[in-house]
A and B are shown apart, each in its own frame.
Chain A
């Protein structure tokens, strides 16, 4: 179609796109990773201990009530089950001490990096100008250890990405920093030639909030 040709090719004169040699881009090899809060491993272990007590309790009840009937014919089953449960509990008690020191994060000017994993190691990068919103949360156990989790939500990614085991203050500072970054990027974008006119940003925010209340209202009226 003839009339669409000039439309798609970006902004003539305004849009420059020079080639960037890959080697010149900042890498992640030489970074100083910030470790998670020192008490986080202990907190995970306490959580695992509570879980272990619950599991052992539940299985003991099962063992006393139901298992005798099955055990008549399968004498190895209780031993097998106890072995698995024991191994699982021991594993979840010891594992945090191995895994937590290998997690860490870096806050750079443009993005947030998070690394994790002992055998399967991964490094995630979240560019700030794709983050839609952030969330802080902490369980009672977290709070006892002075910890909090920070989640960043990019568009469309459902549950978002969660960084657990930050100190409460660090998490709050990070959240504020990311929020400011998002805002700064939003401003930069609204000055763009390719972006929508500036009022659109405001109405975007408005409609977002309206939408929220609406869906609640409609949900109630439907019942």
Chain B
């Protein structure tokens, strides 16, 4: 542009109109693309079904295009590791240049797909705060490069006045020692030894733990869905092959109601076994060989049967500590832990800012199966020097319950949110049932009336059930909700049957909100909501004066702390 002075408002080149048109097209696509894709897919499928000779051509063209584009992308992908940054050049038509200083790298994840394990290669994914995207990725590189990067980033970030550089050097040396080992491939045992020599191994999961994890994980939803599908299949099958099912039904009928109930129960039990087996298998696939260790000022974990995932999080960058203990976890005395870095739990739907969309797949370092001792250990590691007394275990005695009035509020919320939501869902359900009603001479309006009647009855039952359930639900919520704080941080427990604890340091807060409902105002109570960079922590129904004091303290800590929050 011809410069009209540095301070003046300028237009970009008129060619940018293409960019802006593209941007608005992308906006439309992001919102309504799904619909278009479905319509296009149906249209194309219909066309290809009618003209099978084009199918071969289409498939061939597609394969060729994919291969060509892939080849070109490989050819144009370059990267260079410098002393303080990594540069990546890629793109065929649109060249893209990523310039990523090591300061900005929040974590380095090393993934291994099965084929990479065979070839002894790894994929390196670089996390940066605020904007993570696919560009910070080095596919199928030599493990040595990954190690080199890890060492350089560690060295660079440890370059502080605290004498961390020495540590980094040591780590560096250790990394180099490990490299030949690594290059050999998935020799887990040998690598485990090398790790133990290098860092402090906090946890290694055995098969027994994996089996229990499979039992714990939330298979119920899947179970319900499977039941639904099977029930539906049975229904369809009776229509199609009445003969076979008729025989079964006759047999069941002749056995009597009890036997029929037993048969149904057996079927349900069989399904349950299948689901549990599937969950256990998936726990094995995901967490096989899980190792968690501490290395200098980072936690690292590695796990996976086929795809070996490695996650690294620097303690300084941890924004809050999340501990979850579901009902079944409690039986086993275990917890699930997460150390989310910035943007770790953003909603994908937060519109407006395209960059936030991509923040979603930030890797959070998770500890899926931690006993109390390990939780305590990680807690003291994360909150070392500050917030030493923050509670992380759900059954910690330092927790103070919130006001009993919360029972009423939680029960009312359950009623006012749960009942309309349930009624709405029931309407959709009744519509789906009515829509699946097949038959030639069904009067649509009669069907609609049936649907409305069914919906009304179901809604009434749901509302009555909610009224009965509201008080217990409110009480359970109140029982779960508790908080504790010290001078540096706050820890809050919430839940219904399972408990989850969120703890954070005041200086990592991003914003504070104090809310008062009419009920709270009458009793001098308030709700504190603290926003952190990876979510928010809400403490309901505590004294208004305390809430205000905490708010002022948080704002003070945020402003006065001279330590970096990220």
Residue A79, interface by CB 8 Å: no
Instruction: Mark out the residues of chain B between 436 and 454 whose CB falls within 8 Å of any chain A CB in the assembled complex.
Output: 445, 448-449, 452
The reply to whether B562 and A194 contact each other, CB–CB distance below 8 Å, is yes
The reply to whether B92 and A119 contact each other, CB–CB distance below 8 Å, is no
- A7-B297, A127-B555, A157-B531 given as contacts; is B514 within 8 A of A122 (CB)? yes
The reply to whether A218 and B296 contact each other, CB–CB distance below 8 Å, is no
The reply to whether B96 and A214 contact each other, CB–CB distance below 8 Å, is yes
The reply to whether B513 and A122 contact each other, CB–CB distance below 8 Å, is yes
Residue A140, interface by CB 8 Å: no
What's the nearest-Cβ distance from chain A to residue B423, in Å?
15
The reply to whether B98 and A19 contact each other, CB–CB distance below 8 Å, is no
Q: How many residues of B contact A (CB 8 A)?
A: 95
Instruction: Name the CB-closest residue of B to A218.
Output: B96
Q: A200 vs B135: C-alpha distance in the bound complex, in angstroms?
A: 21
The reply to whether B518 and A7 contact each other, CB–CB distance below 8 Å, is no
Q: A215 vs B343: C-alpha distance in the bound complex, in angstroms?
A: 18
Residue B534, interface by CB 8 Å: yes
The reply to whether B556 and A221 contact each other, CB–CB distance below 8 Å, is no
Instruction: Mark out the residues of chain A between 100 and 138 whose CB falls within 8 Å of any chain B CB in the assembled complex.
Output: 110-111, 117, 119-127, 129-130, 132
- A4-B167, A157-B531, A196-B103 given as contacts; is B91 within 8 A of A218 (CB)? yes
- A124-B512, A193-B161 given as contacts; is B449 within 8 A of A221 (CB)? no
Chain A residues with CB below 8 A from B163, complex form: 6-7
Q: A25 vs B550: C-alpha distance in the bound complex, in angstroms?
A: 10
Residue B130, interface by CB 8 Å: yes
Residue A192, interface by CB 8 Å: yes
The reply to whether B135 and A214 contact each other, CB–CB distance below 8 Å, is yes
Bin chain A's interface residue count: 35 or more
Q: Of A29, A155, A208, which is within 8 A of B548 by CB?
A: A29
Chain A residues with CB below 8 A from B397, complex form: none
Stretch of B211-219, B344-352, B367-375 on the interface side:
B344-352
Per-residue contact bits, chain B 306-340, to A (CB 8 Å; 1 contact, 0 not): 00000000010001000000000000000000000
Q: A15 vs B562: C-alpha distance in the bound complex, in angstroms?
A: 8
Q: A194 vs B135: C-alpha distance in the bound complex, in angstroms?
A: 30
What's the nearest-Cβ distance from chain A to residue B189, in Å?
22
Residue B254, interface by CB 8 Å: no
Instruction: Mark out the residues of chain B between 468 and 488 whose CB falls within 8 Å of any chain A CB in the assembled complex.
Output: 487
- A11-B162, A119-B517 given as contacts; is B343 within 8 A of A156 (CB)? yes
The reply to whether A4 and B103 contact each other, CB–CB distance below 8 Å, is no
Residue B353, interface by CB 8 Å: yes
What's the nearest-Cβ distance from chain A to residue B18, in Å?
10
The reply to whether A211 and B563 contact each other, CB–CB distance below 8 Å, is no
The chain A residues found within 8 Å of chain B, CB to CB, are 1, 3-4, 6-12, 14-15, 19-20, 22, 25-29, 69-70, 72-74, 110-111, 117, 119-127, 129-130, 132, 153-159, 161, 189, 192-197, 200, 203-204, 206-208, 210-221
Pairs A-B, 9 closest by C-beta atoms: A158-B350, A154-B510, A156-B533, A217-B94, A122-B515, A25-B552, A155-B533, A221-B94, A217-B96
CB<8 Å pairs between A and B, sample of 12 = A10-B162, A27-B552, A157-B510, A158-B347, A194-B160, A200-B101, A203-B84, A208-B131, A211-B128, A215-B133, A218-B133, A220-B93
